[in-house]
Structure 1
Amino acid sequence: MSWPRRLVVFSLLARYSSAQYVGYQAYDPTQLEVPPLPATAPPLAFEVALDYGGSPTAGPETPGSFLGVSIEMVLVEDIVGPSKDKVHPEFLNFMAGLKARGGSPVLRLGGNSQEKAELVASLDGVGTPDTIAFEGDGQSVKKLINPGFNTLTMVYTADIVDAMRAASDALDIHWYIGITMNQTMPPRLEFVELAQERLGDYLLSMQLGNEPDLYYMRYRPNDGSYTPQAYITEVQMMLDTMKADPKITRPNICGGPSLCDCNGDWKQHDIFHEIGYIDKFRDSLNTLFVMKYPSDNCPGEASYRPTAQDFLNLLTQHDSKYGAKVFGSRFSSQYQVAQEAGLPLVLLETNTASCNGFLGVSDSFGAGLWVVDTALQFASNGLQHMMLHLGGQTSYYNPFINAPANSSAPHKWTVNPLGYSMLFVAEALGPSNKARVADIGVNGGNAYTPGYTIYEDNKPVRVALINYMTDATGAHDYTASIKVDASVTEVYVRSYSAESTTSKAGSGLTWAGQTFGGYFETDGTLQGTQTTETVPCSGGTCAVKVKAPSAAIVFLSKTNMYDASTSPAQTFDGSATPTSSGSNPSGTTAGGGGGGGNGAASSLAVGVTSFIGSVVAAASIMF
C-alpha cells in the first residue's frame, strides 16, 4: 500500500474509531434521536375538500416520471453496467418498477466528474497502482485519483454508452447528459458525439456546464476574472463548435445554466435577465436546468450549517426553513422565466444536503417523506422533473446503491427510503402524463400533516397525505375525512410506512406492504404481497387513517391504479433482456436474500472487507 493510501486509510479509520460501524457511508446504520412531537398536537381529525371545478390552483401537467435519478458520471459502470451485454439486472428491475407505475423513467448522467471525464479506445495501460482508486474495477471505466481535486477522474470507453442504450431499449429510459467543460479551447465534445450517435432520441438534453459558478475553485483562475459574462462567452464558443461538428446532428438540445446557486457573485436573476441567457441561446436550448440542495455537509465549519439532528427535526416539518414548502417554492421566478420562453424547467440535481448528505438523516425514512413532500411541491409549482443525486459508496443520500466492487458475498443491492419515495411519487402521478398537482393546505396548513390533490382532466383522481410525526402508540395517527363526489362509494389506500422517521433500509420499511429488504438484500424487485386498503365512503365522505409516521395515496377510483398482480413489472437477470413480464408479487426472492432484516450485520461485514481495498474512493469523492 502506497503512502498516500496509508494516510487516507489511517485518517478514515480514525474518523470512525469512536463508532461501532466502520465502513462505507452508504451502509452506516446509525440512527439519530426521533424528532420530538409538537408541543401541541395538531388536529387529528380534519376534512379534506376536493376541487371539482377545474383545479385552477394546480400546477401544469406533470409526467409520472417526474422524480428521477441523477447518477454521478463516474459511477455509470457501477450503476448501469459495463456494456450492452452486461447491464446490471438490479438497476433494470428497479427502473422497471418505476416504469410500471409512472411511465418511461428519466435519468441524468453527470455531476462534478463529467468535467474531466476522458473517452479512450481502450483501458489497457490506463493508470498505475498508485492512481487507480479501485483495484480491479472497470471493464469500461477506470477511476483515477486526481491530485488537487476531491472528485475522481473518470477514464471510460464507448461501452458505457452502449450499456445506457441497451437499458433504454429495454425500458424506454431517457437521459440528460453533461457536456465536459473543464476546457473550452478547444472544447472536448467526444461524449456529446458519442451520445448523439448511440442514444438517439433517448437523449433529452445536454447540460452546458455543471455549476459554472464554482469553476473558479476547480477549472478557472481564482482571481475574480471568471464572471457570468465569461461563462456566457464560453457557452457561445461551445455552441458554435457543436454546430460546426458534423458528428453532432442535434446541437439544439442543450440546457443550462445549472448554477450551484451558492456563489453570491452569480445570481440566477442576473443570468436570465441582466445577461440575457435565454435570448442569446434560445435557438440552442430545449431545457432550463437549475440545481439546488436545501443544505450542505461540505468540509469545513459553517455557521449556517445545522447539526444532523436539527436538520432531521426541521426536514420533517413541511413549512420549516428546510421543509418542502419553502424549498419547493424556491424556483418560482425561474418557472415564470421558463414558461415565458416555452421551455421546461428541470431541477437537474438535488437531495437532502450536498456533499453526500448527513449521517443518520439522508438515508432515513424522514428523508423519504421529505422527498415525497418536496417532489409533489415542486410538481405543483411547475417543474418538469426533479432528479435525486446518487453519489456512490461514500454518500448517505443514495436512493439505491450497488454492492461495493470488491466486497465478499452477498453481492446484492440496497434500496434506501428515497428509492421507495420514487415509487410512491410515480404511483401518485400515474402514467397518463396528465397529472396536475395542488398543495391543498390540509389541516389548516399544519407543518406535520401536508397533503396534495392530483388532478387529471381537471378532475381529482388521487390524494397524497403525509404524517411526519413518530408515535408508536398510535396517539398521533390522524384521520382525514375526504369529501368526494356522491358517486364515489369507496376509495383505495396504499401506505408508505416505517417504524420511525429515523428508520433505515430494512427497519420495517414498506410501500403498499412490499419491501426491498435491508442492506445488500435486493435484486431491485419488491418482495411480498401488494396491499391496498379499501375504505368505504358514506354521504360523500371517506375517512382515511394515516399512521404516525407514514404517507398514503388515496385512489378515488381504480383507473390508472397500478396492480402488481395483474400488470407486474418486467424483471431481468444478467442482461437487458427481460426474464419475465413481471415482478414477483408472491414474495419469493430471486437469488437469495430479501428477508427484510435490518441488514446491520451484513453491512458491517461488507463495509469492513471493502473499506480498506477501496478506501481511497471514500476520501476522494465529494458530490
Structure 2
Amino acid sequence: MAARRILPVLAASLCAFAEVSVYPYPRPSATPGAAYVGWQAYDPTTLDDPPLPNPMPPLDFQIQLDTSGNPAASQDQLGSFLGISIEMSLAEAVIGPNSSWLRPQFLNLMSTLKERGGPPVLRLGGNTQEKAELVDSIDGGGSLAKFAIGPTGFTNTPTLQFTVDIIKAVRAASDILGIKWFMGVPMNQTTPPRLEIVEQGESIMGEYLWGWQLGNEPDLYVSHNYRPANYTEEDYMAEYRTILDAVTADPLIQTKNNYGGPGVCCIWQLGDLINNQNYLGQFGSQLNSLIIEHYPLDNCDPSAHDPQQVLNSYMNHPFAVSFGQQYAAIAETSNAAGKPVILLETNTASCNGFRGLSDSFAASLWATDLALQLASVNFTHMMLHLGGQAAYYNPFVPPPHNATAPFMWTVGPTMYAILLVAEALGQTGHARVADLGANAGNQYTPGYVIYEDNQPARVVLLNYMSDTSGASDYTAHISTSASEVKVRYLIAPQVSMKTNITFAGQSFGGYFESDGLLRGDHTTETVNCSGGSCAIQVPAPGIALVFLTDSAYQPDDDMATYASTHITAMHNTAVVDPSALQTGNGMNGALRAQMKLASTSANKKNGAGRRVGEVAAGILLASGAFILGFRMLVV
C-alpha cells in the first residue's frame, strides 16, 4: 500500500486510532435472550438469513459484453452518484461547529470516497430544514440549538436554530475535499419566506453549492401539522411560485435559478405534479433539478411490517428494478427538459428503517443494486439518509454526547455500498451504466456493466443468496480479450451480519471503533483469463467489482487522512481539551460552548498548543492506516 498523506486539520474531537470495544451509551443488555434497550444505531439484534431459493439458479453462466458502444446504457455518471443526506440538526455533530473545528472522522470518511469517485456530493436538510432558523447568535455561544417547540408530527421534529458558523464549517470541509452540497431551504413560512440561508449561504458556499432544495416533503405538511387539513397540490404550487418570486425580487440573492423540488415522497404522485400541475413548465426557468424523496417502505408504524419478511423481500434484484421503473418515464421527461433527476433522500425504510435489515449486510446489497439501477435509468444522484442515534440505517454516526470514547464513530453497512459504487463509477465523469440481465435475468444473481469511452471498463456482480457452506457461490464467465482482470469484493459471512463486513479486505470496524479510516490490507485479486473469458467467483452473499482494463483499475491508495489534533509549522495552535470532546446527536452547540473549548487562535490565554519542535505523542504505523495517541506533529 502506498503511504498515506497526513494533512493538518484542527478538529473538534479526538481520534484515538486504536481498537476500542466499548459501548459508550447505552450498553446492550448483557443478559442472554434479553431485549436490547438503547439507541437504535447500536442495536445488536439480528434477523435470520432469507431462505435459499428453490429451485436454485444456475451457478455457472456466461456474460457477453457489448463492445459496440451500447446505446441502451445510461448517460454519463459521476463517481459521486451515491451520496449521503445529512439531517440538518446533525450538522454540528457530523461536520463540525465552525470552519476552524471540523470532525476528522467525517473528513476521513469523505476522503475515502474522494479517492475512489472524486469529490462527494452531499445533502444537508431533511425534516429539520423546515423548522430551521438562521440566527445571529445562540445563547451560550454555540452554533446550533434544538428546541421541542412548534408544530410537529410523527417524527417529533425539533425547531432548529443555527448560526452562519454551520455554513462556514460546510464550506471549510469543501475547501479541503471539494465536496458539493444540496442545502435545504424552509417552506414553513411563505409571507414573507425565510430566505436568510440563501442570502448568506450562496456567497459562503460559492462553487461548492450544487443547489438549494426548496421545501422538504410538502405532501406531508398536513400530517406534520405545518398546513391545514385542506392543503392541496394547487396550494403548494401557489406557495412555491410566491417564494420563487421573492427570490427574483431579493437583491441579496444573486443566483435566481438554483432551486430543486418538489421533493414529494409519500402521498402526492410526482407524475401528477408534472403532468397535471405542469411543475416543470411553471418553474423550469428557476429549477436546476427535479428532486424526489422516497423510501421503499414506510416504517412509521412498526406494527405494520414484520422486519424478517421485509428482509426476505428486499434480497432480490426485482425489488431494486421496480423502484427505478416507477420513475423511469419521469426521469426521461425531466432529463429532456434539462433538469437532472435527484433521489435526494432514501434508505431502506422511512422513520429510521428496520431493525436487523437497515443495519445489516443486506442493506449493503440493496443500496448497491438500487444505486446502479437508478444510474442505469438516468438518475443523476441518490442520497442515503443519515438520521442519528435513533435510526437503524445510518451510513455512519458519531457517538452520543455522553460517550466514554467520543472520538470513535460507528460506520454502518450502507457506507460500504457508497464506497463500492464510487469505485465502480470512477473519477472520469463519463461512466455509463447498463443492467446486464445476468444469468437470464435471475433475481438472485444480477450484474451491471460500466462503460468508459463506449467500451466495457468494469463489471459489478451481486449474489443475494446467503449460504455459509459456499454451495451457493456462483461463477460468471465474462467475455473479454484481456489476459487477466482484477477483482475486489464486498463481502460478509451472512446477509444478516452487522459487523465483519469488508470491502477489498478492509473494514471500518464495529460499533464505536471507527476514526473514519479503513483498516487492514487493501486486497485485490488477479484472475487469469483464457479463451476470451474470465471466470469470476461471487460468494454468497457478496459483490464482486471487476476491473476489465488497467486504466479502469482504481484507486491508487494515495489519499489524504486527518489527525485529531496537530501542530502546524506555521504558528502555534491549540490542542483540543479532551474534557470538551463531546460529539453527540443530543447535545446543543450552546452546551458544548459551556465546556470552554480551547481557543483555535495563537497567543490566546486559554490556548493549549505546544511550540513546533516539542514532542508530540503519536505513532504513525507502517501501514499508514491509523495513529496511536491523540497528538501528532504534521510535517
Letter in 2 for 1:199: M
Select which of 104, 107, 111 maps to 1:92.
107
Correspondence list, 1:279-298, <5 A: 279-298=281-300
Q: 1:430 to 1:374 in 2, by over 3 A?
A: same
Letter in 2 for 1:423: L
Does the 8 A contact of 1:525 with 1:584 survive in 2? Answer: no
Does the 8 A contact of 1:207 with 1:256 survive in 2? Answer: yes
Correspondence list, 1:409-448, <5 A: 409=405, 411-448=407-444
> SS of 2:385's equivalent?
strand
Cα deviation, residue 457, structure 1: 1.1
Does the 8 A contact of 2:517 with 2:625 survive in 1? Answer: no
Does the 8 A contact of 2:538 with 2:544 survive in 1? Answer: yes
Of stretches 243-252 and 71-80 in structure 1, the one that deviates more from structure 2 is 243-252
> SS of 1:538's equivalent?
coil
List per-residue Cα deviations over 1:553-605 (Å, max 9, x = no partner): 00001214224xx44211112479999xxx98827532479xxxxxxxxxxxx
Cα deviation, residue 328, structure 1: 2.3
Letter in 2 for 1:182: N
Give TM-score scaled by structure 1 length: 0.85
List per-residue Cα deviations over 1:398-436 (Å, max 9, x = no partner): 001111122112530111110011000000000001001
Correspondence list, 1:311-330, <5 A: 311-319=310-318, 323-330=319-326
Letter in 1 for 2:274: F
Q: Does residue 236 of structure 2 align to residue 227 of structure 1?
A: no
Letter in 2 for 1:590: I
List per-residue Cα deviations over 1:321-374 (Å, max 9, x = no partner): xx2111122211211221221111100100000000001110110111110011
List per-residue Cα deviations over 1:181-211 (Å, max 9, x = no partner): 1110110111111211200111111112111
> SS of 2:317's equivalent?
coil
> SS of 1:388's equivalent?
strand
- Indicate the residue corresponding to 1:152 in structure 2: 158
- Indicate the residue corresponding to 1:589 in structure 2: 626
> SS of 1:475's equivalent?
coil
- Indicate the residue corresponding to 1:9 in structure 2: none
Give TM-score scaled by structure 2 length: 0.83
Does the 8 A contact of 1:86 with 1:574 survive in 2? Answer: no
> SS of 1:162's equivalent?
helix
- Indicate the residue corresponding to 1:51 in structure 2: 66
Q: Does residue 365 of structure 2 align to residue 375 of structure 1?
A: no
Select which of 552, 560, 573 maps to 2:563.
573
- Indicate the residue corresponding to 2:308 in structure 1: 309
* Structure 2: distance between partners of 1:250 and 1:236: 16
Select which of 455, 470, 491 maps to 2:485.
491
Does the 8 A contact of 1:516 with 1:522 survive in 2? Answer: yes
> SS of 2:221's equivalent?
helix
* Structure 2: distance between partners of 1:577 and 1:362: 40
List per-residue Cα deviations over 1:26-79 (Å, max 9, x = no partner): 011111011111121110100011000111221111100000000010110011
Cα deviation, residue 140, structure 1: 1.1
Q: 1:454 to 1:592 in 2, by over 3 A?
A: farther
Q: Does residue 138 of structure 2 align to residue 139 of structure 1?
A: no
Does the 8 A contact of 2:150 with 2:159 survive in 1? Answer: no
Q: 1:425 to 1:567 in 2, by over 3 A?
A: same
Question: What residue ranges of structure 2 are gaps of 5+ in the alignment?
Answer: 1-27, 570-619, 631-635
List per-residue Cα deviations over 1:503-527 (Å, max 9, x = no partner): 11xx321000011111111111111
Q: 1:584 to 1:144 in 2, by over 3 A?
A: farther
- Indicate the residue corresponding to 1:244 in structure 2: 249
Select which of 89, 92, 112 maps to 1:74.
89
Does the 8 A contact of 2:486 with 2:553 survive in 1? Answer: no
- Indicate the residue corresponding to 2:347 in structure 1: 351
* Structure 1: distance between partners of 2:187 and 2:440: 48
Select which of 452, 457, 472 maps to 1:461.
457
* Structure 2: distance between partners of 1:560 and 1:576: 36
Does the 8 A contact of 1:464 with 1:552 survive in 2? Answer: yes
Select which of 23, 26, 37 maps to 2:52.
37
Q: 1:567 to 1:589 in 2, by over 3 A?
A: closer
> SS of 1:347's equivalent?
strand
Q: 1:241 to 1:82 in 2, by over 3 A?
A: same
List per-residue Cα deviations over 1:226-263 (Å, max 9, x = no partner): 11111111111101111111221112100111101x21
Letter in 1 for 2:286: S
> SS of 2:416's equivalent?
helix
> SS of 1:424's equivalent?
helix
Question: What residue ranges of structure 1 are gaps of 5+ in the alignment?
Answer: 1-12, 126-137, 594-623
Does the 8 A contact of 2:361 with 2:497 survive in 1? Answer: yes
Select which of 537, 543, 549 maps to 1:557.
549
Cα deviation, residue 447, structure 1: 1.1
Does the 8 A contact of 2:492 with 2:500 survive in 1? Answer: yes
* Structure 1: distance between partners of 2:146 and 2:332: 40
Question: CA RMSD, aligned part only?
Answer: 2.3
Letter in 1 for 2:178: D
> SS of 2:131's equivalent?
coil
Letter in 2 for 1:88: R
* Structure 2: distance between partners of 1:317 and 1:450: 8
- What is the number of equivalent residue pairs in this alignment? 550
Does the 8 A contact of 2:518 with 2:625 survive in 1? Answer: no
Letter in 2 for 1:242: V
- Indicate the residue corresponding to 1:273 in structure 2: 275
Letter in 1 for 2:411: V
Does the 8 A contact of 1:116 with 1:182 survive in 2? Answer: yes
* Structure 2: distance between partners of 1:495 and 1:213: 40
* Structure 1: distance between partners of 2:622 and 2:328: 41
* Structure 2: distance between partners of 1:204 and 1:429: 20
> SS of 1:525's equivalent?
coil
* Structure 1: distance between partners of 2:244 and 2:625: 52
Cα deviation, residue 146, structure 1: 2.9
- Indicate the residue corresponding to 1:107 in structure 2: 122
Cα deviation, residue 301, structure 1: 4.9
Letter in 2 for 1:556: L
